[in-house]
Structure 1
Amino acid sequence: MFTPKTKAALLASSVIYGSLIAAPAMAQADPSIEPAAAEDRIVVTGSRIERRNTETAAPVAVVDDAEFELSGTVNVENVVNQLPQVVPGLTSASNNPGNGTATLNLRGLGAARSLVLVNGRRWMFFDTSQLVDLNTIPSFLIDSVDVVTGGASAVYGSDALAGVVNFRLRHVDGIEAGGQYSITDRGDGDRYEIHGAIGTDFSDGRGRATVFGEYYNRDSIFQGDREFSNFALGGETFGEPLQQFGSSTLPALRFNAPGSTAVNGTTFLLGSGLTIDDAIFDVGNGAARARAGDTYNYAPVNYLQIPQERYLLGGYAEYEITDWAVPYAEVAFVNNRVATELAATPVTGTFNVNLAAVQPFVSTAVFQQLQTLDARETAANAARIAAGLSPLNGAAPGVVSASLQRRVLETGSRNSLDERNAFRVLAGMRGDITDYLQYDAYYTYNRTRNANIQAGNISRSAFQNGLNGTAPTINIFEEGGLTQDMVDQISILAQNSDISTLEVASAAISGTLGDFALGAAEPVGFALGGEYRRVASQFIPDTALASGDVIGFNAGDPTEGSYNVKEVFAEINVPFETESGMRIELSGAGRYSDYSLEQIGGVWTYAGGVEFQPIPDVTFRGQYQHAIRAPNVAELFQGTAIGFPGATDPCGRPDATSGTLRDLCLANGVPAANLGRAAIIQPNTQIPALFGGNPNLQEETSDSYTFGVVLQPQAIPGLTVTADYFNIKIEDAITTISLQQSFDLCFDQFQDRANPLCDPFFAFGNIRNAEGAIDVDATPVLGGQNIAEFVVSGVDLQVNYGMDLGFSLLGNGSSDLNLNFLGTWTEESSFLATPDSDLLDCAGIFGASCGQPTPTFKWTARATLIDGPLTFSTRWRHLSAVDDDDATVDYGDFNGSERIPAYDLIDLTAAFDIRENVTLTAGVNNVFDTLPMTPTFDGIIVSNTNNGTLLGDNQEQANTYPSVYDTLGRDFFVSVDFRF
């Protein structure tokens, strides 16, 4: 798939990864300045000014189309995530968490703070968070991907705090068709793609049009298909070795590899006043048992690679009526079907069990245990009533009210199928006003609709009715005890949908101030214009999801909201040049935005930059930008939804029995007798919490600056070296503090119930049940706030070198070698949850607080040899070692790891032009099959031939971070491309 244009780019610029760098501008002999022809004008990402050269004050990294071909990549995410500037967002390996999309996360500052453009214009988003799904961009038509670091709101408006990524699509001349097939070394995870495009120039070159289509299909891989991910490691083993005997579906021979506290059998947790040595009655086994190491292994049935089927259709065209009237249009349609899969539903919570109804399903010994519970509960209620307290919920004589946990294996896995249909239409007009002025105006409408179907859910009300005698009784007391009729009785199919729209109307005038030039340099350039944007989105759950009756997937209330913004903007570029060749170029940009959101109103963003070239070999550059991000629809208007994050309730810790922590826990509704008793205060590692929007959120603000140097030594032709320092600081950042952070800040750091950070626990009524555990029916409410701060800084280094080797292996006379390196050193990647909290620097760190690993060093290097029709290339991807962020826990005690060592992958690709219009490409990624380690059967985690590390509770999913570290292993691909 190496077109003549691609090879010319490789030969001429020797840049697969590199900067947009022009040859040095020399003094002109004629002081008069001729207007540039339209075909000579360039619009560089990060500016709206059309110019003759590609130099900018801000560094621009470029991924050439050759990189997509050489890497065997069909989905855009797989190349973009290799950029050192990017911390991977959601990918094809994101099952839980995950929603079947692929997102982009520049500098690790969050996908919402990275602006995605296609051909310099905003692309359609897919949900209430206003995020772009990279699956909607046709990778085979990408000409290049430009990455601009730092805030760019002065040029593009809101959202560009971390930077801008612009995907440039190319026009096709003729007919192109091709396809690709990929498969792993283990014979699974098949992926295949076919595409075609027809393009032509017409009317003597005055018009051109391209029409395209693509089909892509990706098979699933389960975590059970890889040894490293087959067992869900975590702290539930409490330091015990892995016990891999029998089957996870047999109660008597459970795995000791944990995944959640909902085991295969049914457990009843004793409540307040019902203490028998803090034990858990395991009704399935008929005896009290210890909790440690007896949990369900959910991993095997989770996806390691989520399946996908995608159709892309579209086209774009333009026609020059006259020099001053060139109408153009774009249209795109995407149908994308993606599924995620989780283990069978874990039912947890407090239920009322009617003893008479369930007696037929339990043994005499078990029934006597339940009667003992009933007698003690009845006595406890009498004591509560005598003390003026309310009785336990539903705990009448003959009814046991207890916390219950059961993994409902009989219903099978939970599956969430998303089908997203998106379309985009754009119509515009551009042209020349004078020899020195041009205009460009367009309107675009984008709409995405997602239909989501969830199977494998359990109805909480139906489950309760099957235990309290108001409906046919369900047999939850033995594994496999639920008949098909019982399964049908408690199962529920849930559905929801998202609808999102984006409208943009934009008009701009750009050009130069005629012959007005300074110091015989190019004319002063400028751009000015206005823009109107409207965003709207809604989430529509069915009644079951909205009511919270669904167990299996998180419930959620309907969400709907919209806002608009009216903007004016301007840019200016002023070049100076002396007769000796010294060059200075100043640039500036400003934008005023008026939001329909009252709490934001009118805001300014601005930028200024300078380039200084003392000699042709060296250019210094720097830029400052002040940017903003308005809150998105989800952050503003999201309906309340329940989640079950993992956290540790401080009231269950041993130190909760004394001091200020004791006072807070008592004030929060924990009985004094239960303080410090984790088995009662926190029966599950996952604690229910409510999450929702905050309509009073204001804009985030950022200040960023970059400065660097570009070296193009004339003594070494073909060599370009760029080094740029970046510093991005975001203030008033919108963040939803995690439940664990809320616990820590309120109960451990501030210890003041009047502090706003304690509101989730004290401001919304009683959130605990009578035993002191967080109640699923009255949970903490966690919403977004403008309280956080982010700082990211470091250095980007790019080296590009191309040379003629002077010989040819195939007898073509000569061959070319291109060497390219793009790397980032991250100096700081810090997060401040609140103005008074401790700074968390995540550079070189990963874990529960920092999330995805942020290596101190990340680079991608490629060497490409071009010898006539043959192209051979190798790529080296490197991540430096990272350490866990929690110094208080040694995850080595929990079958995990405190450190992920340095990580290196090698890829090989070969392409051959069989004929002038037919190219065959084949390659292998992850040549040395580098995967995480594998646990052995003796309970000790040891290294295999690879250099990864398995993680315990400090993992994201699949015992690792699958979007960062390869989980497929050695992967082969072959593709063919035809051009006519």
Structure 2
Amino acid sequence: MNRFSKGNLLAGTIMAGAMVATPAYAQDQEEPVTVGTDGSADAGGENLITVTGSRIQRRNVETAAPVAVVDSEEFALSGTVNVENVINTLPQVVPGTTSFSNNPGNGTASLNLRGLGATRTMLLVNGRRWMFYDTNQITDLNTIPQFLLESVDVVTGGASAVYGSDALAGVVNFRLREVDGVEIGGQYGLTERGDGRRYQIHGAIGSSFDDGRGNVTVFGEYFNRDEIFQGDRTFSNFALGGSPLQQLGSSLPPETRLRYDGDGDVTGTSFEANSDLAIFGTPGSLRAYETPRDLYNYAPVNYLQLPQERYLLGGNASYEVSDALEFYTEVAYTNNRVDAELAPTPILVNTFLDIDSLVANGFIDAGTEAELRQLDASETGADANNGTVDVQIRRRLEEAGGRRNLDERNAFRIVTGARGDITDYLQYDAYYMYSRTRNANIQQGNASVSRFTAAVNGTGDTQINIFGAGTLTPDMVDVFRIQAQNGDISTLEVASGVLSGTFGDFALGEAEPVAFAFGTEYRAVSSRFIPDEFLASGDVAGFNAGEPTEGAYDVTEFFGEVNIPFETESGIRFELNGAARYSDYSLDTVGGVWTYAGGAQFQPIPDITLRGQYQRAVRAPNVGELFQGTAIGFPGANDPCAGDGGAGNAPTPTGALLALCQANGVPAGNIGNNAVVQPDGQIAALFGGNPNLGEETSDSYTFGVVLQPSFIPGLTITADYFDIVVKDAITTISLEQALDLCYNQAQDLNDPRCATFVGTRDAQGAFSRDNPPVLGGANIAEFSTSGIDLQVNYGTSVPFSLTGDGDSRFDVLFLGTWTESNDTRPDVSDPTIVDQCAGRFGLTCDDPQASFKWTSRFSWTDGPMTLSTRWRHLSAVNDDTDADDNFVERIDAYDLIDLTLSFDASENLTVSAGVNNLFDTLPSTPIFDANGQVINETNTLLLGDFNNAEQSNTYPSTYDVLGRDFFVSAQFRF
């Protein structure tokens, strides 16, 4: 029976709440443990273990590659239900998409090892591939049942030779356990502010039968999480930006902002004061547009934490017919619903206003009518005195409600296989896996651009009143409001067979026999993105439009591994291992490729082990990178032509930059006028796939030492240096990088680096939303990262007990990473441009990549009681530009303390309670002066780059935004 015993769990190398890098040594047990290829453990038998990163079964758990292990108790002691919340605390991980990713966000949780990207991290469950959710072939961590986790193994460096494509940064293997008996549990959590409620209930039942030849486990879970709005926290209640830091927002306000685009005389009109800009300060009445007074604060109505509802069902079973044949199967199904909530739709159209119809409908007052007629009368050419004026309209459609984006994913996976012994020295394992994910994305609050435009200028059946805040009636809203939807369908098929074993009893010296594994694998992937007519055509404002995507490919692979240990009678041990894989892709741009690896270990004395490994890995482009239809996005960027006072507070262009801005279509009089050239921090851009992409390759090296001094029982120290370089990396360079390459580096419109910006500006010099820049993927980048992983863990008995059960136990765990470098060369054809992101954050480097990151846990176990505290640390990070132009230049070092108390109330019941972020460490609350400027900017702890202000004025996936957070849980087993 699986009985919860903290004493045993904390006694070994894998301690409660610990994240432990192997060389893992088996925890204290009366009998040896056999871990099979499915990760299950059985008492008795030969101590054969399959370690993540290899397909060879072995007697020891030491490998040449460093492996970090997250024990299942970390999830219990940290009070988390979603896998992402624990995995993202690992020093090797830079948070990807999380439950705090609202814009952009897609309701999933991804894993990003070493900051090299989620597409370069392979996720396995029980040593086999899991299901992915979209055209980028990324696994959603929300689909993995946390309550069944036995451990999570993290392998650094490329592992394509063992597992195939995608494993450039490393491999994360989630081991699920079998259940013997009945388990029922639940958890409830709430922040100190009384919001963010979440609860989970789960159950599992499992049993062995037929004298242990068979085993069946069935499980289910329900999880529910409430939303938190940015307006519920003072640090995120205002959209901040500018330099000096101040309350800013969007130039698309509910009152409607007009830009006059004709050639009439604006003298004496509301358009005169501020670059031909005016706003309806009161319904029907124009006045001059003022910045920042008239900017719209969109922050409060955006989600800070996304709501989620999840159902998980599944099971696994195995039956041993004989030593030569055991059948096994795994089944999993998940239904996951996650909402995103954004401010009401901002809409921008270039059209004309019919003055007579506006007057006839009573939409404008006499003063505004007089101004518009003056403009019409002073125009020249065909537009003179025609009763219309050309304008650009910017409006926030508050009357249409907020933009809600509901993602509902239904995913299932089934594995069926057979394994067994062919001889005493040879085993086999063959399986087939099929998984399918279907996502239904329903969007509310969108608007049809064509219907809106026709309803404004009077060419449609109904004219609408947008000339002031709150002027749109429900019937008017119905004219242009649409519900848009799209879907994703992704499938993965794998057929694999492996033979593994030894060359009889052949061994070198006193070591175990020489071992090997070889096999073949076939994989087929396909994915589709299916937008409706509005999203596909681009006739939509609100959420981003995108064209359909569909693609598929397959690959056939052959692979092999060998492990050659040598040990002398005196105990000196040396071990070599190697692996190779040949992959034949159906993609003409990839074809046949080789991956390989080699490593060595040397143990001169039992106290010291030296290890090292080299791996060549490959990643084929995914369906999205190859076949994605063109889609529009709105990335944050600084237009160099906006000049002083612009989004980046850059100097007014001069010299070659001035000439380039003029050549690119910015009128000379507008250069440097940010209100016209770049009124918003976000710029429209188009993104799409490239069917000519080839494979990425990576070379990774790891060198390390393991110390277990015999004179300090219970102490283990591991230190490993890693160096990973990804070449021919597929990248769509950021808009900020593209602007830098053209305007600051090339400074010539005829240079290929400027081609994407030709013909993309409107008459006033701003980047057009009708014909935005196009950014596509290419094998042009190089990513590299290096550093040192350090782990120290120590456990000892203490001659003291409060419960009267004799000695208690004290355990300490430290797991940290020093990131020496994390560099990106966005285009290797220009070696002078290197984005160095270790210890930095910002528009180029994105989320903070702290140079030092660690997590540590201190646990005291006294009989049935465990008291544990966790310390999480991130070192300070600096803005990724050298100039003082990005508002917040430094985010200070960051520490969180968590506390948990767990108690075995009986042999069957365990109760836990805890608090995360004990000292309520949050981004600092801005203090504003009378003009809306932040007067505590020098103390703005944690506030991030404010061109990313839609993400709550910080980096919510990296820094805690909930504050002090409480949880209680109970686990019942019988």
**What's the TM-score once normalised by structure 1's chain length?**
0.92
Deviates more, 1:159-168 or 1:745-754: 745-754
RMSD: 2.2
Deviation at 1:666, TM superposition (A): 4.3
Q: Distance in 2 between matches of 1:51 and 1:512?
A: 10
Q: Distance in 1 between matches of 2:709 and 2:837?
A: 37
Name the residue aligned to 1:724: 720
User: Are the aligned partners of 2:48 and 2:59 in contact in 1 as well (CA < 8 Å)?
Assistant: yes
Give SS of 1:321's match. strand
AA aligned to 2:277 is I
Equivalences for residues 724-763 of structure 1 within 5 A:
724-762=720-758
Name the residue aligned to 2:904: 913
| In the alignment, structure 1 residue 820 sits paired with structure 2 residue 786 | no
User: Are the aligned partners of 2:425 and 2:501 in contact in 1 as well (CA < 8 Å)?
Assistant: yes
Name the residue aligned to 2:439: 450
AA aligned to 1:927 is L
| In the alignment, structure 1 residue 182 sits paired with structure 2 residue 189 | yes
| In the alignment, structure 1 residue 976 sits paired with structure 2 residue 970 | yes
Name the residue aligned to 1:155: 162
| In the alignment, structure 1 residue 879 sits paired with structure 2 residue 874 | yes
User: Are the aligned partners of 1:258 and 1:294 in contact in 2 as well (CA < 8 Å)?
Assistant: no
Q: Distance in 1 between matches of 2:935 and 2:966?
A: 29
Name the residue aligned to 2:691: 695
Name the residue aligned to 2:790: 797
Q: Distance in 2 between matches of 1:213 and 1:511?
A: 36
Deviation at 1:951, TM superposition (A): 5.3
AA aligned to 1:370 is L
Q: Distance in 2 between matches of 1:718 and 1:658?
A: 66
Name the residue aligned to 1:361: 363
User: Deviation string for 1:463-497 (max 9, x for gaps)?
Assistant: 10111212211111111000111111111110100
Give SS of 2:86's match. helix
Give SS of 1:930's match. coil
| In the alignment, structure 1 residue 468 sits paired with structure 2 residue 448 | no
User: Deviation string for 1:558-604 (max 9, x for gaps)?
Assistant: 01101111111111111111222111100111111111110110111
2:955 to 961, 964, 967: 961
Name the residue aligned to 2:511: 521
| In the alignment, structure 1 residue 116 sits paired with structure 2 residue 123 | yes
AA aligned to 1:98 is G
User: Deviation string for 1:495-526 (max 9, x for gaps)?
Assistant: 10000000011111111111111122111111
Q: Distance in 2 between matches of 1:440 and 1:613?
A: 32
Give SS of 1:726's match. strand
User: Deviation string for 1:820-866 (max 9, x for gaps)?
Assistant: 11000110011111121511111111111111001111111101111
Give the gaps of 5 or more residues in structure 1: 25-35, 243-256, 383-390
Deviation at 1:260, TM superposition (A): 1.5
Equivalences for residues 769-808 of structure 1 within 5 A:
769-808=762-801
User: Are the aligned partners of 2:736 and 2:843 in contact in 1 as well (CA < 8 Å)?
Assistant: no
Deviation at 1:332, TM superposition (A): 0.4
User: Are the aligned partners of 2:638 and 2:736 in contact in 1 as well (CA < 8 Å)?
Assistant: yes
| In the alignment, structure 1 residue 531 sits paired with structure 2 residue 521 | yes
1:48 to 55, 73, 89: 55
Q: How many residues align?
A: 932
User: Are the aligned partners of 2:339 and 2:407 in contact in 1 as well (CA < 8 Å)?
Assistant: yes
Q: Distance in 1 between matches of 2:752 and 2:217?
A: 56
Give SS of 1:514's match. coil
User: Deviation string for 1:601-621 (max 9, x for gaps)?
Assistant: 011111110000011100000
Deviation at 1:142, TM superposition (A): 0.2
Deviation at 1:657, TM superposition (A): 6.7
Q: Distance in 1 between matches of 2:52 and 2:820?
A: 26
2:495 to 486, 505, 515: 505
Deviates more, 1:494-503 or 1:650-659: 650-659
| In the alignment, structure 1 residue 328 sits paired with structure 2 residue 331 | no
Name the residue aligned to 1:858: 853
User: Deviation string for 1:365-411 (max 9, x for gaps)?
Assistant: 112222233344x41x55xxxxxxxx9xxx99222222211111111
Name the residue aligned to 2:199: 192
Q: Distance in 1 between matches of 2:220 and 2:505?
A: 46
Deviation at 1:347, TM superposition (A): 1.1
In structure 2, the CA distance between the partners of 1:396 and 1:811, relative to structure 1 (3 Å rule), is: farther
Name the residue aligned to 2:560: 570
Equivalences for residues 808-847 of structure 1 within 5 A:
808-835=801-828, 836=830, 837-847=832-842
AA aligned to 1:610 is A
User: Are the aligned partners of 1:830 and 1:841 in contact in 2 as well (CA < 8 Å)?
Assistant: yes
Deviation at 1:667, TM superposition (A): 4.1
Deviates more, 1:720-729 or 1:956-965: 956-965
AA aligned to 2:23 is I
Give SS of 2:946's match. coil
Q: Distance in 2 between matches of 1:741 and 1:791?
A: 18
User: Are the aligned partners of 2:339 and 2:406 in contact in 1 as well (CA < 8 Å)?
Assistant: yes
User: Are the aligned partners of 1:508 and 1:528 in contact in 2 as well (CA < 8 Å)?
Assistant: yes
Give SS of 1:261's match. coil
Deviates more, 1:647-656 or 1:205-214: 647-656
User: Are the aligned partners of 1:623 and 1:707 in contact in 2 as well (CA < 8 Å)?
Assistant: yes
In structure 2, the CA distance between the partners of 1:496 and 1:324, relative to structure 1 (3 Å rule), is: same
Name the residue aligned to 1:388: none
In structure 2, the CA distance between the partners of 1:193 and 1:672, relative to structure 1 (3 Å rule), is: same
User: Are the aligned partners of 1:630 and 1:699 in contact in 2 as well (CA < 8 Å)?
Assistant: yes
Name the residue aligned to 1:592: 582
Name the residue aligned to 1:436: 425
Name the residue aligned to 1:342: 342
Give SS of 2:947's match. coil
| In the alignment, structure 1 residue 482 sits paired with structure 2 residue 472 | yes
Name the residue aligned to 1:283: 280
Deviation at 1:889, TM superposition (A): 3.5
AA aligned to 1:924 is V
User: Are the aligned partners of 2:637 and 2:843 in contact in 1 as well (CA < 8 Å)?
Assistant: no
Give the gaps of 5 or more residues in structure 2: 27-42, 267-271, 645-650
User: Are the aligned partners of 1:269 and 1:683 in contact in 2 as well (CA < 8 Å)?
Assistant: no
Deviation at 1:871, TM superposition (A): 1.0
Q: Percent identity?
A: 62
User: Are the aligned partners of 1:499 and 1:537 in contact in 2 as well (CA < 8 Å)?
Assistant: yes
User: Deviation string for 1:679-698 (max 9, x for gaps)?
Assistant: 43334433221111111111
**What's the TM-score once normalised by structure 2's chain length?**
0.93
In structure 2, the CA distance between the partners of 1:971 and 1:309, relative to structure 1 (3 Å rule), is: same
Name the residue aligned to 2:21: 19
Q: Distance in 1 between matches of 2:473 and 2:190?
A: 40
Deviation at 1:941, TM superposition (A): 4.5
User: Are the aligned partners of 1:652 and 1:682 in contact in 2 as well (CA < 8 Å)?
Assistant: yes
Q: Distance in 2 between matches of 1:633 and 1:418?
A: 20
AA aligned to 2:515 is G
User: Are the aligned partners of 2:262 and 2:389 in contact in 1 as well (CA < 8 Å)?
Assistant: no
Q: Distance in 2 between matches of 1:544 and 1:656?
A: 40
AA aligned to 1:711 is L
Deviation at 1:947, TM superposition (A): 5.6
Give SS of 2:454's match. helix
Q: Distance in 2 between matches of 1:741 and 1:318?
A: 53
Q: Distance in 2 between matches of 1:524 and 1:676?
A: 71
User: Deviation string for 1:914-943 (max 9, x for gaps)?
Assistant: 111011111111111111101225354449
Q: Distance in 2 between matches of 1:738 and 1:797?
A: 33
Equivalences for residues 631-642 of structure 1 within 5 A:
631-642=621-632
Q: Distance in 2 between matches of 1:365 and 1:422?
A: 60
1:416 to 391, 405, 421: 405
User: Are the aligned partners of 1:91 and 1:102 in contact in 2 as well (CA < 8 Å)?
Assistant: yes
Q: Distance in 1 between matches of 2:680 and 2:355?
A: 25
In structure 2, the CA distance between the partners of 1:809 and 1:965, relative to structure 1 (3 Å rule), is: same
In structure 2, the CA distance between the partners of 1:511 and 1:193, relative to structure 1 (3 Å rule), is: same
In structure 2, the CA distance between the partners of 1:23 and 1:643, relative to structure 1 (3 Å rule), is: closer
Q: Distance in 1 between matches of 2:280 and 2:468?
A: 8
